[in-house]
A = this chain, B = another copy of it.
Amino acid sequence: MSRIAYFGPAGTFTEQAARRLAAGRELVPMETIPAALTAVRKGEAEMACVPVENSVEGPVTATLDGLAEDSPLVAVAEALLPVHFTVLTRPDVDTIRTVASHPHALAQVRNWLERNLPEATAVAASSTAAAAVAVCDGEYDAAVTAPVAAQTYPLRVLAEGVADVPDARTRFLLLSPPGPQPEPTGADRTSIVASTANRTGALAELLTELASRGINLTRLDARPIKGNFGFYRFFLDFEGHVAEARVGDALAALKRRCDVRFLGSHPRADGVRATVGATATDSDFADATRWVQAVRNGEQA
């Protein structure tokens, strides 16, 4: 049975995403995002599941940096999970004096804690699941966790659907070494990272290569390259699949201009179908290529 490494420990949002994306596989928790990616690069796991962006906090920089460096990995699937926390306590606890969780989770439920557990001290744990373990051990009274933790630990659910921002979502990727892509569905996302010198117009030129081929951008993150001041990496997500003519043509144009790494084409979790610019369908590209060939052959003009 194939192994799927994920950013653990067990009982976190990433485990929930991994269960959805790789049902029935052996899930192996890793301590950090880089460790999950390394497991795939070393062949110790077939694929890795990691978070890539949160609608409130923005991109997960450890994942972006990890995909841009070392040997290439590509996203073959994605999952979108609402960031709703569950608050767990031991059945024997009457008064909640301490609430533990990961610092980022505590930051996302701060208003809820102030309203509902104003007397409790918030304690930082290494993960939402580690907080649940500490509550099981009697170390703290309550834990702010992913919903999946309620199935993992023998704790009582004090509250569900807890979130200061009600429509927060996190997107997760299932990553594998380069290989055959998932089939195009018409509702696909393609991701790349393009590295270019800090030069006037560099980004405008890259985006124009996409726009002129009728490709709609869905996300852009600019990250400085560590230890290489003045150089930026642009993480671009756009509609379409590398198997489609307009996407392949655009990737070739970008490759001429700068350093490009392909990060995968896969179906969108939200199922939104691509808008294809007029004159940018596969048959438009095929017709135009045939015409150029005919011109070269002296058959048309």
Q: Which residues of A contact B (CB under 8 A)?
A: 55-59, 61, 103-104, 106-107, 110, 121-126, 198-201, 203-205, 207-208, 210-212, 214-217, 219-222, 224, 275, 277
Contacts and interface: CB of A to CB of B under 8 A. Distances in A.
B55 A58 contact: no
Contacts of A123: 121-124
A200 B124 contact: no
A200 to B, nearest CB: 4
Contacts of A199: 216
A121 B100 CA distance: 11
A219 B203 CA distance: 11
Q: SS class of chain A's interface: helix, strand, loop or mixed?
A: mixed
When all copies of this chain in the complex are counted, the total is 2
Given A123-B124, A200-B275, 17 more contacts: A103-B104, A103-B106, A103-B107, A103-B122, A103-B124, A104-B104, A104-B107, A121-B123, A122-B125, A200-B214, A200-B215, A201-B212, A203-B207, A203-B220, A204-B207, A220-B220, A220-B222
B200 A216 contact: yes
A211 B220 contact: no
5 contacts: A103-B104, A104-B107, A201-B211, A220-B220, A221-B222
A211 B202 CA distance: 8
Nearest to A199: B216
Contacts of A122: 103, 123-125
Contacts of A204: 204, 207-208, 210-211
A4 to B, nearest CB: 26
A71 to B, nearest CB: 24
A10 B157 CA distance: 38
Contacts of A224: 55
A55 B226 CA distance: 10
A203 B218 CA distance: 11
Contacts of A221: 222
Nearest to A218: B198
A124 B204 CA distance: 43
Contacts of A56: 61
A238 to B, nearest CB: 9
A150 B161 CA distance: 40
A123 B106 CA distance: 11
A224 to B, nearest CB: 7
Complex A-B, nearest 9 residue pairs according to Cβ-Cβ distance, in ascending order: A201-B211, A103-B103, A204-B207, A122-B124, A204-B211, A200-B216, A103-B107, A204-B208, A103-B106
